[in-house]
Amino acid sequence: MRRISILGATGSIGTSTLDLIERAPDDFAVVALTANRDVSALAAAAIRTRARFAAVADAACLPALREALAGTGIEAGGGVEAVCEAARMPADWTMSAIVGCAGLGPTLAAIEGGRTVVIANKEPLVSAGEVILAAAARSGATLLPADSEHNAIFQCMDSARPERVRRIILTASGGPFRDWSREAMAAVTPEQAVAHPNWSMGAKISIDSATLMNKGLELIEAARLFPVAAHAIEVIVHRQSVIHSMVEYVDGSILAQLGPSDMRVPIAHTLAWPDRMETPMAPLDFAAIGRFDFEAPDPDRFPALRLAREALDAGGARPAILNAANEIAVAAFLERRIGFLEIAAIVEDTLASYDPPAPHDVDAVLAIDGEARRNAAARVKDCVA
Ligand code: NAD
Ligand code: MG
């Protein structure tokens, strides 16, 4: 029986994780579940799984959560500190699946407990990679990647020799606009951008997939998680999303991990690791897939990937600024305040406007994150005006 907690239990990754553990009730016991404000989904999941604790990040939602859990014996909490408290409760396996840098504090709280923490929430790793890895080294926590590409790389590296890796090849679907001109992209709506051809995901990561910023964040994520030089990590567009990434060794041998485009596959890998567990996925039908295509990403139509590469190479505060400006710009696009192409433009302008020193602790990361958000928000206002 493994004790499980899920940070961001009501989102796309959270519900996929719940689906897997609810199929194997004898193997998993739920300790804590958290959400931002989705009280009804959180309470329902907590009641179904007999969780001990449920917390909403938005403290204003606590009375509603208390009411929804009345008489169940499940404790309710509200506010960011309650979410961190949920992350600190003893559990064997914690899923970090809050969206954005808002997940940094709770993820660190889980890591400080020294247990297995599964990272879906990539933004904190981008902004505060050094701080997170240092915390894991101190506490002895095991970090397992849930992001499909990084999980694929982990599986291809797991039994081999990381020092003999020549190249990591991150695959990208290319998103819904991979064949569109920039002129056509200028007019896309949030609905078009959220409709991903291969994956069903939360709104923010869906927009990131459409701009290719998701692949940029993943490039930085890969550089944090695996002992490979940044220049040895390449991105290739593979529109079928069947090969989830590849690892090339010095002898020219390349290992790939393949599977259906369903996040339950990589999540199940982390849930059972180092064992394997069954999932409800149908076997891949290669004859129906027919072919694998590969093409280089187009830097002119998708500048976000270049911005992320530059931020990774420059290091220091750059990845945190990139991420924070992107979070603001994506939110503004979803609110229809700016156009699709302005997302990357705002990130680029924010990065160009200043260059603070490298952060070495959480407070310094949060200060950079906050300033980049204010800076990017001012640029959003300029676009709207
Ligand atoms: P989502 O928007 O569907 O869910 C986000 C979850 O976080 C929800 O439970 C929400 O209530 C909670 N949340 C939102 N804001 C919060 C805040 N300020 N404080 C506390 N909790 C908050 O997002 P998702 O698609 O599940 O993605 C979650 C993370 O996993 C992201 O970092 C994303 O990049 C990463 N990821 C997602 C997928 C995917 O297929 N969805 C794949 C790989 C990586
Ligand atoms: Mg991914």
Which residue in the block uniquely carries the two structure tokens 């606009």?
Answer: 177
Statement to judge: residues 172 and 224 lie in one domain: yes
Statement to judge: residues 73 and 153 lie in one domain: no
Confidence band, pLDDT 50/70/90 cuts, at residue 329: very high
Q: Atom of ligand 1 at shortest distance to CA of 14? A: 26
Residue length of the chain? 385
Q: Which residues of 18-27 are buried (b: 16+ CB within 10 A; e: fewer)?
A: bebbeeeeee
Which residue in the block uniquely carries the two structure tokens 């951008």?
Answer: 193
Half-sphere exposure of residue 50: CA atoms within 13 angstroms, side-chain side? 6
Q: Helices 213-225 & 318-334, crossing angle to 10 degrees?
A: 150
Statement to judge: residues 133 and 154 lie in one domain: no
Statement to judge: residues 44 and 164 lie in one domain: no
- Does residue 123 fall inside a structural domain? yes
Statement to judge: residues 332 and 257 lie in one domain: no
Range of the domain at 95: 2-145
Question: Which of 145, 165, 187 is where one domain is finished?
Answer: 145
Q: Which of 127, 201, 261, 334 to mutate to test the pocket of ligand 1 (most atoms within 8 A of CB)?
A: 201
Could you tell me the CATH number of the domain that includes residue 381?
Answer: 1.10.1740.10
User: Is 89's C-beta closer than 6 angstroms to any atom of ligand 1?
Assistant: no
Could you tell me the CATH number of the domain that includes residue 86?
Answer: 3.40.50.720
Tell me the mean pLDDT in the region 151-167.
89
User: Is 120's C-beta closer than 6 angstroms to any atom of ligand 1?
Assistant: yes
Residue 243's closest CA among 261, 226, 230, 225?
Answer: 261
- Does residue 327 fall inside a structural domain? yes
Statement to judge: residues 55 and 132 lie in one domain: yes
- Does residue 139 fall inside a structural domain? yes
How many structural domains comprise the chain? 3
For residue range 349-369, list pLDDT tens digits in order.
999 999 999 999 999 999 999
Residue owning the nearest CA to atom 13 of ligand 1? 36
3-state secondary structure (DSSP) of residue 102: helix
- 235 is written with which tokens? 């991105």
Stated pTM of the model = 0.98
Q: How far apart are CA 73 and CA 79, in angstroms?
A: 20
Would strands 243-249 and 165-172 be described as parallel, antiparallel, or unpaired?
antiparallel
For residue range 264-290, list pLDDT tens digits in order.
999 999 999 999 999 999 999 999 999
Statement to judge: residues 158 and 290 lie in one domain: yes
Statement to judge: residues 257 and 335 lie in one domain: no
Predicted pLDDT of residue 385:
74
Tell me the mean pLDDT in the region 241-246.
98
| Residue set of the binding site for Mn(2+) | 147, 149, 218
Statement to judge: residues 38 and 173 lie in one domain: no
For residue range 71-125, list pLDDT tens digits in order.
999 999 999 999 999 999 999 999 999 999 999 999 999 999 999 999 999 999 9
Question: Which of 145, 175, 208 is where one domain is finished?
Answer: 145
Statement to judge: residues 127 and 168 lie in one domain: no
User: DSSP secondary structure string, 141-201?
Assistant: PEEEE-SHHHHHHHHHHTTS-GGGEEEEEEEE---TTTT--HHHHTT--HHHHH--SS---
Statement to judge: residues 9 and 136 lie in one domain: yes
Q: Atom of ligand 1 at shortest distance to CA of 102? A: 18
Statement to judge: residues 121 and 197 lie in one domain: no
Confidence band, pLDDT 50/70/90 cuts, at residue 161: confident
